[in-house]
């Protein structure tokens, strides 16, 4: 199971709490998923207030507040401090959006905010790209987890740059890595885990499914299967056929 900042998480699936049709459906999806972490924005929590917090407490899933919707380091830092005061945790998923249409991270503001929050005692989970230079700077800023996107938030496109994600895994073999955003199908979750990632984080694919609980269960199973496949040391792809049945010793008719 993944370990973040010294804490072992019960599942490689991390699930968001936004966009569900009702609190009851949210609860059903979380129970079906066995998710190890629930992400929640301060804006989302404010909409549900104590009822939402009570529901999450009943589900027993650790909360990871995030700075969703922030567009500057200053805004993200302020939101993180409010979340810590409200939710009583020093964990923060750090989002600083730089492009409105793609919801792509502003990597310059992200590094600035990560450094400031780390110095302020936060354990930062940065939503970033798979760029090796950016990830290196985030680690230098004090982050101990990296959360590169698979594709734009809510797109369901899967892994847009699997080669970049694979290179990131190779470059930082001992850093916990989470594919965050873009996962739309269980096969996407499995593919991320097969690359050696420690967890996947998704929201829309479950919340907007026709049957959120069934999709949550499928995502959890896929994440676990992908991790098991990675640990099994799978074969490398080949460009030519290799017979699975040897021909040596077989009888040939002339």
User: Residue 213 in 3-state DSSP?
Assistant: helix
Whether the Cβ atoms of residue 179 and residue 165 lie closer than 8 Å to each other: yes
Residue 225 CA to chain centroid, in angstroms?
16
Inter-axis angle of helices 42-59 and 23-33, nearest 10: 60
- Alpha-carbon distance of 250 to 225, in angstroms, equals 37
**Residue positions annotated with a catalytic role:** 93
State both tokens at 83.
Answer: 């979340």
State both tokens at 57.
Answer: 């407490």
CA distances from 40 to 10, 12, 15, 126, 220 (A): 18, 17, 9, 14, 19
Query: Where does residue 49 fall: left (phi above 0), alpha (psi -120 to 50 degrees), or beta otherwise?
Result: left
* Tokens 């499914």, located at residue: 209
- Single out the residue of 72, 107, 7 nearest to residue 80, CA to CA: 72
């Amino acid at each position: 199971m993944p370990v973040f900042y010294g804490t072992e998480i019960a599942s490689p699936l991390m699930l968001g709490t936004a966009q569900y049709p009702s609190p009851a459906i949210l609860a059903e999806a979380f129970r079906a998923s066995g998710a190890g972490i629930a992400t929640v924005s301060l804006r989302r929590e404010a909409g549900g207030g104590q009822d939402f917090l009570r529901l999450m407490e009943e589900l027993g899933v650790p909360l990871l507040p995030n700075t969703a919707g922030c567009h500057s380091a200053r805004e993200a830092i302020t939101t993180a401090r409010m979340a810590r005061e409200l939710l009583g945790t020093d964990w923060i998923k750090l989002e600083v959006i730089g492009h409105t249409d793609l919801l792509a991270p502003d990597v310059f503001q992200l590094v600035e905010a990560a450094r400031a929050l780390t110095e302020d005692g936060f354990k930062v989970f940065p939503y970033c790209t798979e760029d090796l230079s950016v990830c290196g700077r985030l680690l230098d800023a004090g982050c101990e987890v990296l959360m590169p996107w698979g594709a734009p938030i809510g797109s369901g496109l899967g892994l847009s740059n699997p080669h970049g994600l694979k290179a990131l895994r190779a470059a930082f073999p001992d850093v916990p890595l989470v594919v965050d955003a873009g996962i739309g199908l269980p096969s996407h979750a499995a593919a991320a885990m097969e690359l050696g990632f420690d967890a996947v984080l998704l929201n829309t694919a479950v919340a907007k499914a026709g049957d959120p609980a069934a999709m949550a269960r499928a995502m959890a199973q896929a994440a676990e299967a992908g991790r098991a496949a990675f640990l099994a040391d799978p074969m490398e792809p080949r460009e030519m056929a290799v017979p699975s049945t040897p021909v040596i010793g077989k009888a040939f008719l002339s």
